[in-house]
Structure 1
Amino acid sequence: MGIPEAMRAEEGDETVDEIADEAKDAKQELKESTEAGKKVQQESDDSDKQR
């Protein structure tokens, strides 16, 4: 029964790495979308001031 546990541990390690990679990607996407949102908001504010 020790073998399935060892296999499960290896699968768990891969899953942790995959989740870490996905979290890193998601964090980067969130940062980019936040920056884009701030830019759009700034442009919107600027156009409101021009009226």
Structure 2
Amino acid sequence: MALAIALLLIAFLIFPIIALAKEYIVGDADGWNSEVDCYAWLDGKTFYAGDV
């Protein structure tokens, strides 16, 4: 019973992190090209080391 509770607790701690994932397309509709203002595109987005 203690193992089941521990596994349930771990699941509740891990799954919200997975649910917060978001996918971005660099440059949005303009795509990835030299005319895209990357700094304007980055505004309002948060990235962390290790994001892929």
Q: Which has the higher helix share?
A: 1
TM-score range, shorter chain: 0.3 to 0.5
Scaled by the length of structure 1, the TM-score of the pair is 0.46
Which structure: larger Rg? Answer: 1
Scaled by the length of structure 2, the TM-score of the pair is 0.45
Higher RCO (Cα < 8 Å, 6 or more apart): 2
